[in-house]
């Protein structure tokens, strides 16, 4: 991507733990990136149950892997990961056998059902206090016992930074990137709180999935671009295809 005028500004809403990677990748594509974490991650001072009692450990986010690694040294279990980034994180902390669903909670449940037998023992799901989807419910219907270990929480931001507010008011924000339904809900809530909904005309919002995009119904005048699969690479393909030489915002 090359910019014939100013580089497009992207609001990076990822939590601090994941923001740096996205910041670097978008800058390499020629974007100006403004960091505005809308969720913060807090590990709980809890230990997961011994994983020897389970036939597999299920991770639905990178933060779940990090929270587990923060409190436990155990790695001798099959790990199932919801997507590529979570899979890489599990491998990085030392899990030797990681199976990747490359999708969402629905695809993770399908992978588990396809590869495991309920008679071989229960499953351990490492999760946040608030989760998207009903992984345990899907697996329970297939006969699996699932124990949920809540090791972290994600806390929504209560206010946009002054810089971000001013950029919206001055029509200087071009693109917002959203990776989860909760982040999207937080974004909409903060726009309302700061009375910025009327300043979103022409804004492009890049979403990881249709579930994320569905949370934006209260914002009018925006364009929504949704990744064709829920991966970081699919999100980056959208940014590679944007021609800022023909860009018009508002």
Helix axes 84-92, 232-241, angle to 10 degrees: 130
Residue 132 confidence (pLDDT): 67
Give the model's pLDDT for residue 249: 52
- Residue 250, pLDDT score: 45
* Residue of 204, 245, 225, 206 whose CA lies nearest to 7: 245
Give the pLDDT of residue 3: 46
Mean pLDDT by 10 residues, the chain (250 residues): 64 92 94 96 90 94 93 93 92 96 89 97 90 85 95 94 97 96 96 97 95 94 93 93 62
What whole-number distance in Å separates Cα of residue 200 and Cα of residue 171? 8
Q: Would you state the pLDDT for residue 1?
A: 45
CA 217 remoteness from chain centre: 19
Q: CA 88 to CA 76: how far, in whole Å?
A: 16
Which CA distances in Å does 226 have to 93, 155, 178, 231?
31, 25, 10, 11
pTM: 0.84
3-state secondary structure of 173: coil
């Amino acid at each position: 991507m090359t910019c014939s005028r100013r580089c497009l500004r992207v609001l990076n809403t990822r939590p601090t733990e994941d923001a740096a990677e996205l910041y670097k990748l978008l800058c390499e594509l020629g974007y100006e990136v403004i960091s505005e974490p809308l969720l913060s991650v807090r590990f709980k001072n809890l230990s997961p149950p011994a994983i020897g009692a389970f036939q597999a450990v299920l991770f639905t986010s990178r933060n779940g892997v990090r929270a587990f690694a923060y409190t436990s040294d155990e790695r001798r279990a099959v790990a199932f990961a919801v997507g590529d980034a979570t899979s890489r994180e599990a491998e990085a902390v030392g899990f030797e056998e990681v199976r990747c669903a490359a999708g969402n909670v629905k695809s993770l449940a399908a992978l588990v059902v396809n590869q495991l037998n309920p008679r071989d023992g229960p499953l351990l799901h490492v999760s946040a206090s608030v989760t998207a989807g009903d992984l345990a419910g899907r697996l329970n219907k297939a006969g699996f016992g699932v124990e949920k270990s809540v090791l972290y929480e994600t806390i929504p931001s209560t206010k946009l930074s002054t810089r971000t507010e001013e950029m919206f008011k001055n029509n200087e924000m071009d693109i917002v990137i959203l990776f989860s339904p909760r982040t999207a809900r937080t974004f909409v809530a903060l726009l309302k709180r700061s009375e910025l909904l009327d300043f979103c005309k022409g804004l492009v919002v890049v979403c990881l999935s249709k579930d994320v995009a569905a949370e934006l119904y209260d914002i009018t005048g925006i364009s929504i671009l949704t990744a064709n699969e829920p991966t970081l690479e699919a999100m980056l393909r959208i940014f590679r295809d944007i021609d800022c030489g023909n860009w018009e915002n508002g």
